[in-house]
Amino acid sequence: MAPQIHWMLVLFAAIFTNNILLAYFLGMCSFLAVSKTLKTAYGLGLAVTFVTTATAIINYGIYYFFLNASTSIFGVDLTFIQYIIFIAVIAAFVQLVEMVIDKYSPTLYMALGIFLPLITVNCAILGTSVFMVIRKYTFIQAAGYGLGSGLGWFLAIVLIAGIRQQLRFANIPEPLKGVGITMIVTGLMAMAFLGFAGVANLG
């Protein structure tokens, strides 16, 4: 896309106008499964934000140093294996983070611990890396995009968790309870976020 976009704008757009969950539908599985209470949603949101930002930066380096023909040190086009590499990096990074947190901060591990394995298969994270390559971001834009995607997902899951806590007392038809109503509320939320459209656009 346009390589001149300022990284702050990429960050802003990734949170509001091109929200990874509300506009690109990524990370729905854990979004639906872990949004029952505000506290767990908050913990998972933090973990996802951190991992998304870090893996976007690492995958950016790997893609342009080893895979992309014109900038790689091998000079060979290896982009066809990018997906395997990306998912392996994400899995390895999550494992590493888990071990580090476990060793140095048991309290944080207790808070985040159970969410970390879930993150590996959160498509918002792989999606961020894939979009970053498709849109040909520069390094600083990619970092901004990673952070923005993570924060956007964080915002969406915390908002829906707050709404779901209140929904528990609402009178909803039995078959619509749970996923059905969550999906419809998310649709209304996505509609609200459409109000940001036009402020910035990532294409």
Partner 1 sequence: MSGPAKRLIEKGTLSDNPIVYQILGICSALAVTNRLENAFLMGLALMFVLAGSSGLVSLLRKVIPKRTRMIMEVLIIATFVIIVDLILKAYAWDAAKVMGAYVALIITNCIVMGRAEAFAIVNPVRLSLLDAFGNGIGYTWVLLVVALVREVLGTGKIVFTTLAQTEIMVFPAPLRAAMDGQFPLLLILPPGAFLVLGLLIWVVKASQGPEKEI
Rule CB under 8 A: which residues touch partner 1? 22-29, 32-33, 80-81, 83-84, 87-88, 91, 121-123, 126-127, 130-131, 134, 173-184, 186-188, 190-191, 194
Tokens 């872990």 map to which residue?
A: 34
Give the helix/strand (H/E) hosting 196: none
Q: In this complex, which beta carbon is closest to partner 1, that of residue 53 or of residue 129?
A: 129
Q: In this complex, which beta carbon is closest to partner 1, that of residue 18 or of residue 53?
A: 18
Least CB distance to partner 1 at residue 33 (A):
7
Q: Is 141 helix (H, G, I), strand (E, B) or coil?
A: helix
Least CB distance to partner 1 at residue 83 (A):
5
Helices (H) and strands (E) in the chain, counts: 9, 0
- The span from the CA of 58 to the CA of 142, in Å, is 10
Q: In this complex, which beta carbon is closest to partner 1, that of residue 74 or of residue 83?
A: 83
Q: In this complex, which beta carbon is closest to partner 1, that of residue 81 or of residue 140?
A: 81
Least CB distance to partner 1 at residue 149 (A):
12
- The span from the CA of 65 to the CA of 72, in Å, is 5
Least CB distance to partner 1 at residue 111 (A):
23
- The span from the CA of 136 to the CA of 59, in Å, is 13
Q: In this complex, which beta carbon is closest to partner 1, that of residue 108 or of residue 135?
A: 135
Least CB distance to partner 1 at residue 107 (A):
27
The helix, strand and coil proportions of the chain, stated in percent and rounded to the nearest 5, come to: 70, 0, 30
